[in-house]
Amino acid sequence: MFKLMKYEFRKTQATKLILLAIIAIAEIAFLIGLYGNYDMTAGLSIVALVFLSFLGVFVVGLESITILHRDMNTRQSYMLFMTPNSSYKILGAKVLECGLSILLAGAFVFALGALDITLAVAREQGLNSLWEMIQNFLSHITINGRQLEIDAPILAATFLNILTSWIMTIVSAYLAVVISAALLNGKKFNGLISFVLFLLLNWGAAKLLGLIPDTMSSVATLLVYVAVELVLSAIMYVVTAEIMERKLSV
């Protein structure tokens, strides 16, 4: 599995390096703005960094789906399916590599953000006043009549939920791609059908998640979301791998 993951990473290496380079440029711009007192530059680079963090996670997932599509529909598929690896391993390596990349990208952006805030605070006012400012800002936000509470467990659960929900979306896209390649290959409107299927899977998952009662604490609710998303991802993973194992011709 590790060897398969190594090559999955190698396939996406170029895109990740480009993203890293762009983030590095934005970070340098931020530091120049901060220490050179160019407020506009610092502000714009923060906006760029926030945008890039979302874009990065989105691009990693999207590229993973594109690569799976290529691995199913071009001769490069032989590189995978000629090796003595089951479809479960091949697909598992893709899911794990993608999940790990998103996790690492998230952790990296989070660490970078924390570093930038610390630097900004150290230079401008001091950490305490910034934290007070954030708390003050959050105290004015309410959701469903409840005041928003932000603390470390909520932040961690939210991050985990974003990760698992994005992985679920990617696995559902994998399922749609594999159905398209294995069951609908050569049929009319193949691409359209698989895209509609992807939308339906995500609609169904959203409906299911909507059934979770909002009577628990925020952290508990988020963790239930995470658990349901993981179970749904696992089901779709097994279905996808079984279709590959039994029906896929490359």
Partner 1 sequence: MLESRELTKSFGSVVAVDHVSLKLEAGHVYAMLGPNGSGKTTWMKMAAGLIKPTSGQILYEERPVGVESRRHIAYMSTEPYFYNWMTIRDVGRYYEDFFEDFSMERYKELIGRMELREDMKTRTLSSGMMAKLKIAVTLARDAKVYMLDEPFNGIDLLARDEIRTCILQFASEDKILLLSSHLVEEMEAVADRAIFIKQGHLEEIVDLETMRTEYGISMADRYRQIYGHEEVTSNV
Query: Which residues here bind partner 1, judged by CB under 8 A?
Result: 3, 6-7, 10-11, 14, 75-79, 81-86, 186, 246-250
Tokens of 122: 């150290």
DSSP 147: E
Smallest gap from residue 1 Cβ to partner 1 (A): 12
Smallest gap from residue 14 Cβ to partner 1 (A): 8
Tokens of 51: 């945008």
Smallest gap from residue 81 Cβ to partner 1 (A): 6
Please say which residue, 14 or 28, places its beta carbon nearer to partner 1. 14
Please say which residue, 11 or 44, places its beta carbon nearer to partner 1. 11
185: left (phi over 0), alpha (psi -120 to 50) or beta: beta
**183 residue type, one letter:** L
Please say which residue, 70 or 123, places its beta carbon nearer to partner 1. 70
Smallest gap from residue 119 Cβ to partner 1 (A): 37
Please say which residue, 83 or 118, places its beta carbon nearer to partner 1. 83
Q: CA 222 to CA 162: how far, in whole Å?
A: 10
Max Cα separation, the chain? 64
Please say which residue, 27 or 245, places its beta carbon nearer to partner 1. 245
Smallest gap from residue 190 Cβ to partner 1 (A): 13
Q: CA 45 to CA 48: how far, in whole Å?
A: 5
Smallest gap from residue 246 Cβ to partner 1 (A): 7
Give the rounded distance of the alpha carbon of 209 from its chain centre.
18
Tokens of 209: 């998640």
Contact indicator for 49, 20 with CB cutoff of 8 Å: no
Please say which residue, 140 or 246, places its beta carbon nearer to partner 1. 246
Contact indicator for 240, 95 with CB cutoff of 8 Å: no
Q: CA 158 to CA 226: how far, in whole Å?
A: 9
